[in-house]
Amino acid sequence: MTQQGDDNWWDELYDESAPDTAPAESADTLDDHFTTAARATTGPPARDPAPPPPAPPPPLPASPPAVPGPGTAPWEAPPEGPRTFSVPPPPPPVAPPVAPPVAPPVEAPTVQVTMPPDRDSGEPQPQPEPRLADEAEPGTGPGTGPDPDLTVEVSVPRPRTGYVGSRPPTYEPEPTALPVARPGELGELVSDTVLDGARYGTCTLRAASVRGDSARYRGEPRRDALLTARFGHDETALVLVAVAAGSRAAEDAHLAASDACQWIAEAVCRSHARLSEDIRSGRRGDLKSGLHRLIDRTYGKLRARAAERGLASDEYTATLRCLLVPADPECRTRVFFGIGAGGLFRLRDGSWQDIEPLLPEQAAVTGAPVLGFGSPPPPGAAAAETEEGDRLTMDLGITTAPGPLVEEPVPPPAEPFRFRASVARPGDTLLLASPGLAEPMRGEPALARELAARWADAEAPGLAAFLADTQLRVTGYADDRTGVGVWEA
């Protein structure tokens, strides 16, 4: 090394007599001097190229190169410890796949009925788990259906209508013409069909009244009337069913039948407490006499209404048949009463029984004569007569005055009162019929057999099925039909 200038600095640096000084801190190290010298002669050292970014998903940003701290060479390993780096944002949520729309099911003549759980096993049934409000019920989503293990297919038969006999009836089975309406008399219109039903105690009630095929074709009103009513509450309640049939020859027959049903219902309503007590107590005599009085009052009102309309009593009248059914399940007594033609039948053990109360023949009626005009002389009294045939009170030659002149014939005797109280058995079916239904029941055995087959089950038919049964047509019978059925459980 060639010394230039003053060489005294070297002696001062290494002179043993010079005092020792503390080491001064310097930012330059030996390594820094070496790096500076290398750059001055050969340029900056080459570095390895950065690795390529990874394939998608998007790569994480490369961490910045480590800056060597003081006292660390570039070729030394970085100090161990946690390092901070940026985190990419989370990916957006993936939407669930949308199910394709499901076509609506094709209607089939069957319905699926859920089977009830087996309650006879004695094991506790699992309770349904609580669900959140936004959770759908299982089996209600698209493309799902009821569990086949819990449902069965049940056929739904339509009500069977038609006819019985060798040939179909002449008239069409459905209504054709409506009755004529007049201004101011719209309240007197009656519907083509009336249907009703109820269940009290041990019995199920079905009632239907249908206009006949002949009246439907000619546009005449239904002459049969039907009324169902309940009086009272709880076990003392009493159910009344009234059926009236007007005469075919009378123009206002449908009004007379409706009045008869309403008036007998009003009379029974006023006395329903006493009637219910008599039925449950079995007082047959009191029932018969009391109901007879109610019937007589009803027909008295009909005669008064006929006089108001300027009609004869036989032109404004109707047959009236009623049925009383107590709501007490412990009482199975069924009471029938009324006046006029019709039918009362009972289906027991698969066969029909005609239980219509029998009326005695006129020749068989016995009893004391009624005092008054036309009464025969008392027995043993020999009335003296002259040669001309005049009757003498005494042999004084004085003839008796002639009887009163009767210009009009004596009206025929009133219809006899009909009454029957019977105790029903479980499985019995009681049928109260108007003349339009009672006549084919007696005259066409095929109708009776068909109804017996349809009503053989212990369970009563539905309203629609009962209406279809009532409309079974028979050739030669085209009048109005009204039927009331009572099924005993």
The pLDDT assigned to 489 comes to 87
pTM more than 0.85: no
Q: How confident is the model at residue 106 (pLDDT cuts 50, 70, 90)?
A: very low
pLDDT at position 373: 37
Main-chain phi, psi angles of 94, to 5 degrees: -85, 125
pLDDT higher than threshold 90 for residue 445:
yes
Burial of 403 (0-12, 13-18, 19+ CB in 10 A): exposed
Distance, in Å, from the CA atom of 425 to the CA atom of 487, rounded to the nearest integer, reads 10
Band of pLDDT at residue 125, cut at 50, 70 and 90: low
**How confident is the model over 321-348, as a mean pLDDT?**
95
201-230 as b/e, with b when 16 or more CB fall inside 10 Å? bbbbbbbbbbbbbbbbeeebbbbbbbbbbe
Mean pLDDT is lowest, of 11-25, 163-177, 210-224, 396-410, for 396-410
What value does the mean pLDDT take over residues 397-418?
A: 59
Give residue-wise pLDDT tens across range 417-432: 999 999 999 999 999 9
pLDDT at position 402, please?
55
Side chain identity at 105, as an amino acid letter?
A: P
* pLDDT greater than 50 at residue 374: no
pLDDT at 100: 47
Give per-residue burial for 322-352: e unless 16+ CB within 10 Å, then b.
bbbbbbbeebbbbbbbbbbebbbbbbeeeeb
Residues with Cβ within 8 Å of residue 322, at least 6 apart in sequence: 240, 241, 242, 243, 264, 268, 336, 337, 338
Asked if the model's pLDDT at residue 365 lies above 70, the reply is no
Confidence of residue 227 (pLDDT cuts 50, 70, 90): very high
pLDDT in tens, 13-71: 556 565 655 555 555 666 777 777 767 666 555 555 556 666 666 555 555 555 555 55
Give 144's pLDDT tier (boundaries 50, 70, 90). low
Out of 36-40, 102-106, 285-289, 370-374, give the one with best mean pLDDT.
Answer: 285-289
Question: Cα(first)–Cα(last) distance of the chain, in Å?
Answer: 137
290 membership: H or E segment, kind and range = helix 284-308
Give residue 136's pLDDT band: very low, low, confident or very high (50, 70, 90): very low
Q: Which has the higher per-residue pLDDT, 25 or 259?
A: 259
Average pLDDT of the residues in 173-199: 92
Percent of the chain scoring above 90 in pLDDT:
47
**pLDDT tens digits, one per residue of 191-218:** 999 999 999 988 999 999 999 999 999 9
Q: What is the pLDDT of residue 53?
A: 61
pLDDT score for 231: 97
Which segments within 187-285 are labelled E, that is strand?
A: 193-200, 203-210, 224-231, 238-246
Cα separation, 470 vs 280, in Å, equals 31
Taking the CA atoms of the chain, what radius of gyration do you get in angstroms?
Answer: 54
Lowest mean pLDDT of 12-21, 238-247, 374-383, name the range. Answer: 374-383
